[in-house]
A and B are shown apart, each in its own frame.
Chain A
């Protein structure tokens, strides 16, 4: 059944909005009094329409959507405005009414597939209770049918398994099956794929789109990714600090953003940066503070030489199995590449590709099973403890999680000073001076010195981590997913900072990431890894413009909104 037929069948209701949010205000009770999480929010979802709410973390996008299904956290409440579902105000509806609406009229697909299925019940049980609660037939065949419609192969057998026997993508399919099982008229999809690898993400979103189009379900899609929103939705609503700042047809919004925040967001969206520069230049959009130079800055005296050479690197982990038997798991399989001084090399891959294991071995935190790593002409496995201490000075890491990589007990000064003290550099006064310089370099105010990590935001902590990595004037910095946890705008700032530091200090980066858009923005060379093997390597432009391997092509195709970000005449 096509959506057009579905819409016509509903006859007179076609032009009445399915969901209308008017002047919505949501407050959270906290120990420091009420906090305004959402103000003056308004949006409309017509029957069968897909609307995306885009915003960074803390913008109120999820809160707004959860209010529409009556699932605000216990300390949150609707403080004003209306939520009209099919003409009925449900902002203060009774719990009984909400239970009637949930499932059969309003469905939900949550964000994290790992935590949203109850680990102690079989998948089939969790589907069946949904059908049962909403008065639908719930025999084994009905359950299997629901699961197979969500694209789960061998659904009858799968229904008898527990969530931990499913991969992330399969769990998300099960959650989509549950969300759509009672054929609701509105589906709230809260970042439904942000926890998944890009290629899986694309498959799942495609499938979700097919299903909702067939059923004529309206979708309220919550996402942080502007490209994804524009690609999937008819209409995009941009939220910023609890308010709706701009709303409109997705392509129109992307090509002609009018609110300054949307403009910022569009120009920082990491999808396909180099093309974006051209477009921005043509349109005269001010973008100097957003973009990193993509061309490497070659340091004057040093001709590009291989500062780091990885040869036939292999890492095999022994997994302890049943009855004391151990099975071998090859995390990294015969990987070779080299990194030229003063350039950025990116290792790209999805989860389980072995990219982080490579980083650990390069950092000499993990011993390779075979193969070698040559740093500045010396095989790092031959270093004695004193030489290793010297090596540590020259190769520094920056980690992904800005919450986990700083000791919460150390203030910022002690954090940045620690490497200097460990290597006995200078005296107290000179170390303090150096810390101040480093804070300047990463654009943090000196007043931050006495603060503790828990008082800083994610981006600021990542700056502190960069300052700590720079303290010993290293030559190579290994960035392990260093910007993945950050919001788009902050991510752009940090990438910009890294690029500036590279051109000023002649640093070499080995950048480990799953995000191809970031790679395009920052890297000179790319190594693509899949299941422990290196599948493709080359200059960034070559790999992006003419990928040789199917896997690389699939990865590139999966970048959300890639095609949409092109100016109309190119697309």
Chain B
């Protein structure tokens, strides 16, 4: 039975006339097939992401907070002229209540809480920032190599990755900070080094995943068949297209590393007590928590707001850079 016969059979079974309708040509004008839209300025992916970002209140809030934190970090003198170092503190002021010029009161050692919060910003942010830079460079390279070259390179790097995953960040850092060699050289840079050693696997794993996803895209194959070398297509095509998730995770990690620094300092094995940091201040305020909780609360608030703004920024970036949200 040919389809045409088939249709006829069906037609007779139902026996029902079908009207031939044609829409008014004026109401349904033909458009040129596949015309290039020229009614807006060209917009790169980053441009589009930026346009999405600018409209997000979460982004605006976190960007403003991070801006403030960075200014405090660079120019603490703009905010407080009081010397917050322990030598300058007077025990006469111990646990003093807020007074003119000292809005947040005094610590048990008689130091100005506001000034210590302001001057403690720098070490926390420095550790967070440089750890993130180190982790992105080291973890990024490891992940990109594993993802792009695959095979045994990937297998070996993946196992190394797993080994470091088995040792959580804080656990590993605690063990290392207590080693004789680090016990005698405790400073911002040794802390950064240790956090990089135990913090890189996450970025590495994210980069590997992103690179594998892009590696098989047709545009990479197209570049290879144009004669672009393997390494060059990694640098020019694969990496730029894998950046979005790396940026998101790195931003959030910056917050995590600030937490890690303060946690270690809080445990008394991070930055030495001579370095002003929020973690150290929280630790020293712990003893007088029940009588005078304020010296603990204020650095905790500063710490939380800083960490929160990086995490919020990461969240906003994730929404703006989400490939699924991109128009195809």
Contact = CB atoms under 8 A, between A and B. Distances in A.
Interface of A: 2-4, 7, 15, 40, 46, 48-50, 209, 213, 231-232, 234-235, 240-241, 243-253, 258-261, 264, 363-365, 388-389, 392-393, 395-397, 399-401, 403-409, 411, 418-419, 422-423, 444-445, 447-448, 450-452, 454-457, 459-460, 465, 468, 472, 489-490, 493, 561, 563-564, 571
A447 B224 CA distance: 28
Contacts of A406: 219, 222
Interface in B1-16: 2-4, 6-7, 10-11, 13-14, 16
A283 to B, nearest CB: 18
26 contacts: A2-B13, A235-B18, A245-B28, A246-B22, A247-B19, A251-B4, A253-B20, A264-B30, A364-B225, A388-B227, A395-B225, A399-B222, A407-B241, A408-B326, A409-B45, A411-B42, A422-B228, A451-B36, A452-B44, A455-B37, A455-B42, A455-B43, A457-B34, A459-B34, A490-B34, A493-B33
B34 A407 contact: no
B14 A447 contact: no
B27 A243 contact: yes
Contact of A571 (B4, B28, B34): B4
A247 B66 CA distance: 61
Contacts of A450: 42
Interface in B218-263: 218-219, 221-228, 237, 240-241
Nearest to B223: A418
B27 to A, nearest CB: 7
Nearest to B326: A454
A240 B222 CA distance: 34
A493 B34 CA distance: 9
A452 B43 contact: yes
Interface of B: 2-4, 6-7, 10-11, 13-14, 16, 18-23, 25, 27-28, 30-31, 33-34, 36-38, 42-45, 48, 217-219, 221-228, 237, 240-241, 326-328
Interface centre among B11, B13, B241, by most chain A C-beta atoms within 10 angstroms, is: B13
Contacts of B43: 452, 455
Contacts of A448: 36
A434 B240 CA distance: 26
Given A3-B13, A245-B28, A564-B4, A418 B228 contact: yes
Given A48-B13, A411-B44, A561-B3, 16 more contacts: A46-B14, A50-B10, A234-B14, A246-B23, A247-B20, A260-B25, A365-B224, A403-B328, A405-B218, A406-B222, A407-B223, A407-B237, A407-B241, A452-B42, A465-B222, A489-B33
Nearest to B241: A409
Contacts of B25: 259-260
B15 to A, nearest CB: 9
A258 B34 contact: no
Interface centre among A3, A401, A406, A418, by most chain B C-beta atoms within 10 angstroms, is: A418
Contacts of B27: 40, 243
A409 B221 contact: no
Contacts of A241: 28, 31
Contacts of B14: 3, 7, 46, 48-49, 234
B21 A246 contact: yes
A399 B221 contact: yes
A260 B19 CA distance: 18
Nearest to B31: A241
A206 B86 CA distance: 88
Nearest to A259: B22
A408 B241 contact: yes
Contact of A405 (B44, B222, B326): B222
B13 A405 contact: no
A9 to B, nearest CB: 13
A137 to B, nearest CB: 30
A251 B23 contact: no
B257 to A, nearest CB: 29
Contacts of B28: 240-241, 243, 245, 259, 261
Given A248-B19, A409-B45, A423-B227, A7 B34 contact: no
B29 to A, nearest CB: 9
B222 A365 contact: no
Contact of B328 (A213, A419, A454): A454
Nearest to A456: B36
A250 B7 contact: yes
User: Lowest 10 CB-CB distances: which A-B pairs, in order?
Assistant: A248-B20, A392-B227, A405-B218, A404-B218, A459-B34, A399-B218, A450-B42, A247-B21, A407-B219, A231-B3
B280 to A, nearest CB: 44
A564 B3 contact: yes
A248 B21 contact: yes
